[in-house]
Structure 1
Amino acid sequence: MTPDRWSRFIDQGKLYLGVLFLQLGYAFNGVIVKSALNKGLNPCTFSVYRNVAAVIVFGPFAYYFERKMRPKMTLSVFLKIMLLAQLEPVLDQILYYTGMKYTTATFAIAMCNIIPALTFFMAWMFRLEKVNIRKLHSQAKIVGTLVTVGGAMVMTLVNGVPIPLPWTNKSGVHLPLAPAAAASDQDHHLKGAIMITAGCFCWASFFILQAVTLKKYPAQLSLTTLICMMGALQGTVMTLIIERAKKDIWSINWDAKLFATLYSGIIRSGASYWVSGLIMKVKGPFFVTAFNPFGMVIVVIVSSFTLGEKMNSGRIVGALVIVIGLYLIIWGKSKDSSLSDSGNDEVEMIDQERTPGKNKESNIVAGMIKEDRDVEARV
């Protein structure tokens, strides 16, 4: 393996380790926050506090390491940062975690698998993703998008037969719900699903706008800090509007709610925004979201043990459909990368073929000049 190929292999490995870090952070964050929500954590104040934690941790690093490379702030960039803060740190987090409160951590993270499809569709619209309908790999990306959305709808609307797991039913007795309670539970589940879907749309829009903003403001740490800072301010205003005069929701103690806030602020907000920005510069916004099923698998396993969440056949079938659709998209995306790499190799081969010819011509000219000088010297 040549040094250039070895360097490319290491660079690609860093990108995959980055998306692995993102999915692990998302997965454990879902389980930790769901546990805190069950203990009374308010989604609105949680959104504010986690962004404050991210600013406190990442602000000093952004100020020190990017003080010489930070570009000038313009009105256009400032408006983009304000919109970024509204999309993900405020709207997505409030909608997503409120929806999780009505459903389960497994369901919420599984619904996030529609984000790659939404991101792909919006990247196609804004010409951040190459699509040629006549090509097989482009058709696979389009079909995968439709299949992924269909699987998400199956998870939302179909319950199916409960799957008994020994660690989710310690008593071994299943008591059927009363009709009124069952109807109320179904209404809460549907309400939560709609909120999570809306949050996923905001999250996908955030990735697209982040990719556009990084072209004008490439300082990732500073951009992360500014997004979280604006998110905390906007989230405070929205919380005061939604919750009004409820003062007790702002109280926080040394418990699971504080741990969830710190973990989510440092890992889920600050570190994730920064890492996704680094990867996005190389691979684009779609690649960042393409590995969500890995997080789903982690959440299904961990939440069933720690939270005792029960599974049903509808969610399993929907999750499998989502994974199939997602990997159709990933296969199509990989073909895009292979085609671009082959194109680069062809250019390098052409340059190599042209270079020897140029060398031969230069050698011939140099020889002729030398002969003329020898003749002149003899005369």
Structure 2
Amino acid sequence: MGNEDLNGGDKLSMFRKVKPYLAMVSLQFGYAGMYIITMVSFKHGMSHWILSVYRHVVATLIMAPFALVLERKVRPKMTLPIFLRLAVLGFLEPVLDQNLYNMGMKYTSTTFASATVNVLPAITFIMALIFRLETVNLKKIHSLAKVIGTAVTVSGAMVMTLYKGPELQIIKGQSGNQNNNATTEASNWVLGTLMLIASCGGWASFFILQSFTLKLYPAELSMTSWICFLGIFEGAIASLIFERDMRVWSIGWDSRLLACVYSGVVCSGMAYYIQGVVTRERGPVFVTSFSPLCMIITAALGSVVLAEQVHLGSIIGAIIIVTGLYTVVWGKSKDSLNTNEGKGEGQELPIKDDTRSGSNNFESIEVNVPVQMKGVGKSVLPTART
């Protein structure tokens, strides 16, 4: 019995270690599906402003009941500083990031847009360094790996963006002109690229602010519900400003409704919650490091569903990006090991306190050393991502 209990404990311990990786990989499949469904809805006349509002209506209706029931005993008291942070979070991702991304995707293509998102880990890494959520010691191999991996990831995205190469015909008889946004005017293409990069900046800011807010409000389900709820009103105000035709608010039983429901449940409700939990456990850089996988999945689905052409440059860039991704993840894993051994630099954020009863977060098996922030008397929030 002793050996069986030991083996069972080892398996449980291994599963706890793997859970953040499985969660983030699964989330990338969810995002890839959203990009395809969203682009189809745009072709049927869906406004990206209205989509942003409706998806958060769905997300609020789905997540709020769970938050009210499961976190009723652990939810901190709402204060004005917390509410203001939640309001900013509700603007950064539900309004700023999503609308800039959707506009950029309409001007370019789903594959190009998902490739541009690969600058997200680099932007997040730089912002994490500025706010001291991430530490780098170039004398340490794993810290050097995080820097090199980030640079390799961005290089792969640049290759995929700048070098197209010959077309690869994945589906026999596929037309290079069918639903191919590569013929978009150069001015729109440049504008779309700038919008996509700006959206990544908003998304990275969301992850950083989410990390700090979780310290004051360590209730992921409730935070998710608040972000979605506040995003409804902020998104509605933006929609009324930019969409003067009230008919755009009307949707039918078609891809437009599917886009609202799918993106609301999977990419707003579930995604905000999962990213919050994993951010508490591994930090914002770990969460954004998996975004390159979404580009690969989206490129494959875009070729099949939207008949978008895949070029040799996309394949080469994808290989480079995956290499950089695994380099960053390896460096982050060594961060955790070094923290446990107490040999120097700690993880970017300390893990959460598991004494909270009724918590539905990933269980942590590590104890990290808190990192003091400049100007803050207490350690940065526990970390157990978008």
Q: TM-score range by the shorter chain?
A: 0.7 to 0.9
User: Whose helix proportion is higher, 1 or 2?
Assistant: 1
Given residue 210 of structure 1, which amino acid in structure 2 is its aligned partner? Answer: Q
Per-residue CA distance 1:239-298 (angstroms, 9 max, x = gap)? 12222x211211111100100110000110001101111112111112222222322222
Where in structure 2 are there 5+ consecutive unaligned residues? 1-5, 344-386
Match of 2:240 in 1: 240
Distance 1:96 1:247 in 2: 23
Which deviates the most, 257-266 or 95-104? 95-104
Q: Where does 1:281-296 land on structure 2 (aligned, <5 Å)?
A: 281-296=280-295
Match of 1:136 in 2: 141
Q: What secondary structure is seen at the aligned counterpart in 1 of 2:218?
A: coil
Distance 1:126 1:4 in 2: 37
Residues 144 and 74 of structure 1, relative CA distance in 2, 3 Å threshold: same
Match of 1:190 in 2: 190
Given residue 263 of structure 2, which amino acid in structure 1 is its aligned partner? Answer: S
Q: Does 1:169 align with 2:174?
A: yes
TM-score normalised by the chain length of structure 1: 0.82
Which deviates the most, 99-108 or 41-50? 99-108
Shift in Å at residue 184 of structure 1?
A: 5.0
Contact 1:167/1:304 (<8 A) preserved: no
- Percent identical pairs in the alignment equals 45
Residues 281 and 168 of structure 1, relative CA distance in 2, 3 Å threshold: farther
Q: What secondary structure is seen at the aligned counterpart in 1 of 2:185?
A: helix
Match of 1:220 in 2: 220
Distance 1:312 1:220 in 2: 40
Q: What secondary structure is seen at the aligned counterpart in 2 of 1:113?
A: helix
Q: Where does 1:90-105 land on structure 2 (aligned, <5 Å)?
A: 90-105=95-110
Match of 2:126 in 1: 121
> What is the Cα-based RMSD across aligned positions, in Å?
2.4
Shift in Å at residue 182 of structure 1?
A: 8.2
Residues 174 and 199 of structure 1, relative CA distance in 2, 3 Å threshold: closer
Match of 1:356 in 2: none
Q: Where does 1:1-379 land on structure 2 (aligned, <5 Å)?
A: 1=6, 5-167=10-172, 169-170=174-175, 185-243=185-243, 245-343=244-342
Where in structure 1 are there 5+ consecutive unaligned residues? 345-379
Residues 154 and 232 of structure 1, relative CA distance in 2, 3 Å threshold: same
Contact 2:49/2:99 (<8 A) preserved: yes
Contact 2:107/2:184 (<8 A) preserved: no
Contact 2:296/2:318 (<8 A) preserved: no
Shift in Å at residue 167 of structure 1?
A: 4.2
Question: What count of residue pairs does the alignment treat as equivalent?
Answer: 337
Residues 294 and 153 of structure 1, relative CA distance in 2, 3 Å threshold: closer
4+ aligned runs moved over 6 Å, structure 1: none
TM-score normalised by the chain length of structure 2: 0.81
Residues 339 and 160 of structure 1, relative CA distance in 2, 3 Å threshold: same
Which deviates the most, 263-272 or 126-135? 126-135
Whose radius of gyration is greater, 1 or 2?
A: 1
Contact 2:109/2:182 (<8 A) preserved: no
Distance 2:7 2:183 in 1: 64
Per-residue CA distance 1:76-112 (angstroms, 9 max, x = gap)? 1111101111110100000011111112222222222
Given residue 316 of structure 1, which amino acid in structure 2 is its aligned partner? Answer: I
Distance 2:318 2:173 in 1: 20
Residues 272 and 46 of structure 1, relative CA distance in 2, 3 Å threshold: same
Residues 131 and 98 of structure 1, relative CA distance in 2, 3 Å threshold: same
Residues 277 and 190 of structure 1, relative CA distance in 2, 3 Å threshold: same
Residues 160 and 258 of structure 1, relative CA distance in 2, 3 Å threshold: same
